[in-house]
Each structure stands twice: as structure tokens, then as C-alpha cells.
């Protein structure tokens, strides 16, 4: 048996198409403001993609670029200005911030109604309490991908999330719980992690350890949603070359799993797609618009 590949690129394109259709049906144009501090090359590429995809979906994009030596006050003052700008529906602070800046403090300055990354304490609390609100993008993408593979009803599925970070592990567990799944959160202190994984219908590796999950860790037919993205040496590509791999050992897992996301091209594309979706949801909530069908 060879697993079917869950294409994050295809699913993300479908989400973006739904977002564009929703934007076309709205009485106004949602606006996403992106704040980037410094000149990190990876962040620059990521922000350019966000700006391009935001505009392709028919939304307005604002791009605020602060220098690498910007102070905490300057970053937080800009966020406060965007909070007060009624034309702005979503605020995204591109992470990581340059050394010396307090990310947690800056994130907490974002108005929860505009927190399209779902990272503020208010957003996390609403998720934990099962109240409505904006959900973190990457974990939301994980649930959407699992549904694409297994169908919309995930009730009763056993999900093992490997990792307990506030960015992915914990919110992913809560989002799958909201789908009536049974959840196990595993981590570095979990005893006999392979055996725990073998009980799972859905495995979500999110620890940032290259290829830790092996094929013999899986129940035959399990769904693997691989959040990890790790750069490793790839001498087979040539001297000094590197490659990207997930937290799952794809070559062995594909022989046992029923479905699996690749790295790259799996969970990654879903993050921006869910960000765009959150921007529309934030605009509807703030402006009193009905949420269009399909979101």
C-alpha cells in the first residue's frame, strides 16, 4: 500500500478561490495590514507572497516595513495606529522579530478583533473555551487537510499531536477536539512515543525534529499531517546542497500511511490561505456583514 498524497497547494488554491468568491460577494473590501521589522530574507519572501495573494483575492493590502533597529515603542505604536484605523480589518506581525524586541508584548498590542494570526491571549482563551473567534492559521490548515483526506466528519478519530507549542501543538489539539476527535498530545517526555503513534487515526508531527516519525510508528492507513519543515544537508544534490524535509520520514511513512502531506507543498501553503480566510471573517465580524457561504 502506498499513501495518497494530500496536496496542500491544491487545497490552498481551493480555499483562496472560496475567499475570492466571498470577497466578491461582500459590500466592501477587507483590508489586511502586514508589519515586518528588519530585513530577514525568508520573512521578506513570505511577506511578498502574503501581499500578492491578498490582492489576488480582491482584498486591500497594506505593507509596513520598519528598519531592523526599530524600537519596541515604534513597533507597538504602529500596531496601536493600525488598531485605531477603521479601514484595517486584520493585522499581521511577521515573526520572528529582530533580537532585542519582545514578540509576546508586541503581539498582545494587536486588537483581538484584528488578530488574523490568532496569537493573542484573548484569541487563545476563546479557542480554549470553545467560543467564537479567529483561529491560528497553521493548525486550522491541518484540520482542513485532514478533512480533505478523510471527509468532513472527523468524529471519533484518534488524533496524536506531537508537540505542545502555543503556535501549533496546543491549538491544533483544541481544533481537532472541536471536531469531536479524541486527542492525545505527545511530546519529548512521552513514554514509548512510537507505540502512542500506532494508536492514531491521524498523526500531526509538529516538533521541528527532522524525520522523527518513521513508517513503523504508524497504524496502517493512518493520515499524517506533517507540520515540520526542516532544512538538512543533501549531499546527493551536490556538495554543500541542502533540502527541506518534514518531521515525518516521508519515504517510510508513505508505505504505511493511508494519506500524507508532503514537505514542502503540504501544510505550508495552507497557512497563508487560512490567513486570507481569517481576514474576511474579521472584516465580517467588525463590519456587521453576513459571512458568505463557503467560508
210: domain CATH number is 3.40.50.720
Report which of 81, 58, 13 is spatially closest to residue 280, judged by C-alpha positions. Answer: 58
Q: Are residues 145 and 101 in the same domain?
A: no
pLDDT at 122 over 90: yes
| 2 in any annotated domain | no
Cell of 107: 503581539
Q: Are residues 102 and 141 in the same domain?
A: no
Residue 232 belongs to what H/E stretch? strand 230-233
| 227 in any annotated domain | yes
Predicted pLDDT at 102: 98
pLDDT band of residue 88 (cuts 50, 70, 90) is very high
Q: Are residues 152 and 93 in the same domain?
A: no
Q: Are residues 106 and 145 in the same domain?
A: no
Mean residue pLDDT of the chain comes to: 96
Predicted pLDDT at 272: 95
What is the reported pTM?
A: 0.95
Cell of 144: 482542513
CA 171 to mean position of chain CA atoms: 10
Predicted pLDDT at 294: 86
Q: Are residues 52 and 175 in the same domain?
A: no
pLDDT tens-digit readout, 211-236: 999 999 999 999 999 999 999 888 88
Class of residue 239 by CB neighbours under 10 A (exposed 0-12, middle 13-18, buried 19+): exposed
Predicted pLDDT at 180: 98
Q: How many domains does the chain have?
A: 2
Stretch 76-98: mean pLDDT: 97
pLDDT tens-digit readout, 258-294: 999 999 999 999 999 999 999 999 999 999 999 998 8
Stretch 189-211: mean pLDDT: 97
Higher-confidence residue: 8 or 242? Answer: 8
Q: Are residues 258 and 151 in the same domain?
A: yes
Q: Are residues 107 and 173 in the same domain?
A: no
pLDDT band of residue 170 (cuts 50, 70, 90) is very high
Q: Are residues 263 and 149 in the same domain?
A: yes
| 141 in any annotated domain | yes
| 257 in any annotated domain | yes
Predicted pLDDT at 238: 83
Predicted pLDDT at 200: 98
Percent of the chain surpassing pLDDT 90: 91
Stretch 137-154: mean pLDDT: 98
**Angstrom distances, CA of residue 169 to CA of 12, 125, 142, 148, 229:** 21, 15, 11, 20, 14
**Which has the minimum average pLDDT: 69-83, 230-244, 273-287?**
230-244
pLDDT at 1 over 80: no
Q: Are residues 143 and 60 in the same domain?
A: no
Q: Catalytic residues, which ones?
A: 50, 94, 117
| 193 in any annotated domain | yes
| 116 in any annotated domain | no
Q: Are residues 142 and 262 in the same domain?
A: yes
**17/173 Cα distance (integer angstroms):** 27
Is-contact 236 197, C-beta < 8 A?
no
DSSP 152: S
Report which of 168, 223, 208, 215 is spatially closest to residue 194, judged by C-alpha positions. Answer: 215
Predicted pLDDT at 241: 87
Stretch 163-192: mean pLDDT: 96
CA 280 to mean position of chain CA atoms: 16
| 262 in any annotated domain | yes
Q: Are residues 143 and 210 in the same domain?
A: yes
Predicted pLDDT at 237: 83
**Which has the minimum average pLDDT: 32-36, 60-64, 133-137, 241-245?**
241-245
| Enclosing domain of residue 55 | 27-111
Report which of 222, 207, 226 is spatially closest to residue 255, judged by C-alpha positions. Answer: 222
Predicted pLDDT at 91: 98
Cell of 64: 509596513
Q: Are residues 242 and 164 in the same domain?
A: yes
Stretch 116-131: mean pLDDT: 97
Predicted pLDDT at 15: 98
The CATH number of the domain where 97 resides is what? 3.40.50.10860
| 13 in any annotated domain | no
Higher-confidence residue: 239 or 6? Answer: 6
Starting at the earlier edge strand, list the strands of the sheet with 60-66: 60-66, 31-37, 90-93
Amino acid at each position: 500500500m502506498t499513501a495518497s498524497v494530500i496536496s496542500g497547494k491544491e487545497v490552498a488554491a481551493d480555499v483562496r478561490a472560496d475567499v475570492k468568491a466571498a470577497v466578491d460577494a461582500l459590500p466592501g473590501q477587507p483590508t489586511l495590514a502586514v508589519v515586518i521589522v528588519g530585513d530577514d530574507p525568508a520573512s521578506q519572501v513570505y511577506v511578498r507572497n502574503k501581499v500578492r495573494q491578498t490582492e489576488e483575492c480582491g482584498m486591500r493590502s497594506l505593507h509596513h516595513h520598519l528598519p531592523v533597529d526599530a524600537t519596541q515603542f515604534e513597533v507597538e505604536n504602529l500596531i496601536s495606529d493600525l488598531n485605531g484605523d477603521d479601514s484595517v480589518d486584520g493585522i499581521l506581525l511577521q515573526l520572528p522579530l529582530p533580537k532585542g524586541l519582545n514578540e509576546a508584548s508586541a503581539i498582545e498590542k494587536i486588537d483581538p478583533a484584528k488578530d488574523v494570526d490568532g496569537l493573542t491571549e484573548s484569541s487563545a482563551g476563546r479557542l480554549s473555551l470553545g467560543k467564537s473567534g479567529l483561529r491560528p492559521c497553521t493548525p486550522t490548515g491541518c484540520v482542513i487537510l485532514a478533512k480533505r483526506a478523510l471527509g468532513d466528519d472527523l468524529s471519533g478519530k484518534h488524533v496524536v499531536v506531537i508537540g505542545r507549542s502555543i503556535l501549533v501543538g496546543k491549538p491544533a489539539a483544541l481544533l481537532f477536539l472541536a471536531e469531536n476527535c479524541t486527542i492525545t498530545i505527545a511530546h519529548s517526555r512521552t513514554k514509548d512515543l512510537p507505540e502512542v503513534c500506532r494508536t492514531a487515526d491521524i498523526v500531526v508531527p509538529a516538533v521541528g525534529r527532522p524525520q522523527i516519525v518513521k513508517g513503523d510508528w504508524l497504524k496502517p492507513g493512518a493520515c499524517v499531517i506533517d507540520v515540520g519543515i526542516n532544512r538538512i544537508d543533501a549531499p546527493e544534490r551536490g556538495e554543500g546542497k541542502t533540502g527541506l524535509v518534514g518531521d515525518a520520514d516521508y519515504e517510510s511513512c508513505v508505505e504505511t500511511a493511508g494519506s500524507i502531506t508532503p514537505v514542502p507543498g503540504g501544510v505550508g501553503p495552507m497557512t497563508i490561505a487560512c490567513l486570507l480566510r481569517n481576514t474576511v471573517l474579521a472584516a465580517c465580524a467588525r463590519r456587521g456583514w453576513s459571512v458568505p457561504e463557503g467560508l
